[in-house]
Amino acid sequence: MSKIKARLLIVDDDIDILLAAKMFLRQHIEIIHTEKNPNNIPDMIESENYDVILLDMNFSRDATSGKEGFHWLNVIMKTDPAATVIFITGYGDIELAVQGIKEGATNFVLKPWDNKKLLATIETTLKVRESKVEIENLKSTQKVLIANQDNKYNNLIGNSPIMKKIMTMATKVARTDANVLILGDNGTGKEVVARAIHRASNRSENVFINVDLGAITESLFESELFGYKKGAFTDAKEDRAGRFEAANKGTIFLDEIGNLSPALQSKLLSVLQSRKVVRLGSNKETPIDVRLICATNMPLAKMVSENKFRQDLLYRINTVEITLPPLRDRTEDIQPLLDHYLDVYCKKYKIAKKRIGAGTLKRLQMHNWPGNIRELQHAAERAVILSESDILEPHDFFMDHNRSDANDDYSPKNMNLEEVEKMLIRKVVDKHGGNISRAAKELGLTRASLYRRIEKYGI
């Protein structure tokens, strides 16, 4: 019979108990250590990763109260939160043993024990240990994933006075749980600011859930944000949590909130007021604890006056309001932003370090940048990939190819179909200030289709 691959520690001041337990259990368990003196527990669990610890509740100094057992249980749990402890008591004190489980023990056995029951208790406890370790690993993995995700959205970059002011404001608001509304044109870095606030908050070790409200249809709004029960609709084949539940204890970022219809605004307001969600197909309310950050490029105050956006919802989401300037109003930040993106893409594509020529920066600062930082980022990536020189010139950023910084004047003469499509997409995207949802709607495309064409043509 093969032995269970586990490490077992037995701590008891009775040598006969230790010998009896070891003689029986070594037939079934691979590694067994015994210890008479509980003072040696810290060193032992620091040097070995025990799967199960059998711990006497009462040592010779204190024969009946169990206080020593509780003390050493606390020491073990502080050292290894995933530890599984089985209390041993020789006095049949069920209430004391139950109290031990409340304090963190996994199970208990009574002396004298039945060998089969003892082995069964250890085997059950090993399964608990596996679950605890899996949960701890998931938590660690989640932290790594969160860190990696946030690394895609680097800290705020900029030396301009307005950006320094925004950085200060973001730092202050991050310390609180106040709702934040971030305003600004597309491509100005609203998600970057939202993630920066999350990283500096007390919720930084929990998730950041990004919801693009412009990409969620009205019919899917409730199921996506609030979740659903199995059978709630045709394709609901299992229970599923919504974005708010997924963001519990963390931050939820509602991007393009200005796109919500009045009916959806009302549903969102109800959840924000009650801090509870009800999944589709259920009557059960689930409390949520989330930090709310919203963003839009639309003039919400004007929309309120036109009865297109609820005033009470605006009050609810903008405890603190941050307005991001377009890149053309912070041209002194173009150089540090470029330095950052050139470094990122040179490393990504394993290309030798590139720098911009003496006259290039001035030319870049003169550009209008209708797509803001996102446009600058894409231009930097293209320049890194396509330029044959280590020194980048204005033409490497595609700024002078068939377009000007003012009103574009395209002529379809001598163009093939792809060139016409490229021209049209660029014109419509610029028209809507980089808002992909609006551009896709005008072009009669889905967001995904438009993104594919943008990538295809390098727009």
- From residue 100, give the alpha-carbon distance in Å to each of 53, 54, 65, 217: 14, 13, 12, 52
In a domain, 67, yes or no: yes
CATH number at residue 333: 1.10.8.60
- What single-letter amino acid sits at 169? M
Same domain, 279 and 343: no
- Rounded distance, CA 66 to CA 59, Å? 8
Residue 411: inside a domain, yes or no? Answer: yes
Confidence bin at 408 (pLDDT 50/70/90): very low
Q: Give the model's pLDDT for residue 91.
A: 61
156 and 202 belong to one structural domain? yes
296 closest CA partner among 392, 438, 159: 438
Same domain, 40 and 162: no
Q: Judge contact between 54 and 88, C-beta under 8 A.
A: yes
Whether residue 389 is found in the same domain as residue 413? no
Written as six digits, the tokens of 213 are 């409200």
Specify the pLDDT at position 154: 55
Residues 199 and 304 in one domain: yes
Q: For residues 140 and 86, what is the distance between their CA atoms, to the nearest angstrom?
A: 26
If asked whether residues 310 and 337 sit together in one domain, one would say no
Q: Are residues 268 and 304 in the same domain?
A: yes
Tell whether 296 is covered by a domain.
yes
Among 79, 103, 137, identify where a domain stops.
137
pLDDT digits (tens, 9 = 90+) for 340-362: 999 999 999 999 999 998 789 99
List pLDDT tens digits, range 103-144: 788 888 888 888 999 999 999 999 888 887 777 666 655 655
Question: Does 142 reside within a domain?
Answer: no
| 143 domain residue, yes or no | no
At which of 267, 294, 324 does a domain end?
324
User: Is residue 444 located within the same domain as residue 341?
Assistant: no
Single residue among 401, 420, 435 that ends a domain in this structure: 401
Closest of 335, 369, 285, 395 to residue 160, by C-alpha: 335
pTM of the entire structure?
Answer: 0.61
Report CA-CA distances (Å) from 453 to 138, 248, 456.
Answer: 37, 36, 5
**Under 8 Å CB-to-CB from 326, ≥6 apart: which residues?**
184, 185, 188, 369, 372
Average pLDDT over residues 427-437: 81
In CATH, what number is assigned to the domain containing residue 246?
3.40.50.300
Name the nearest CA neighbour of 189 among 213, 163, 227: 163
Q: Are residues 188 and 336 in the same domain?
A: no
Number of domains in the chain: 4
**Which tens digit of pLDDT belongs to each residue from 42-62?**
989 888 889 999 998 876 555
Helical ranges in 32-93 per DSSP H: 41-47, 67-79
- Rg of the chain's alpha carbons, rounded to an integer? 31
Same domain for 264 and 191?
yes
Question: 365 and 271 in one domain?
Answer: no
CATH of the domain at 20: 3.40.50.2300
Domain check: are 304 and 349 in the same one? Answer: no
Domain annotation covers residue 100? yes
Tell me the range of 101-105, 226-230, 268-272, 408-412 where mean pLDDT is highest: 268-272
Q: The tokens of 130 are what? A: 């596996």
User: What whole-number distance in Å separates Cα of residue 421 and Cα of residue 89?
Assistant: 80
Answer whether 258's CB lies under 8 Å from 300's CB. Answer: yes
* Angle subtended at Cα 55 by Cα 49 and Cα 60, rounded to the nearest 5 degrees: 135
In Å, how far are 207, 218, 266 from 242, measured between CA atoms? 14, 15, 18
Range of the domain at 449: 407-459
pLDDT of residue 287 exceeding 80, the answer is yes
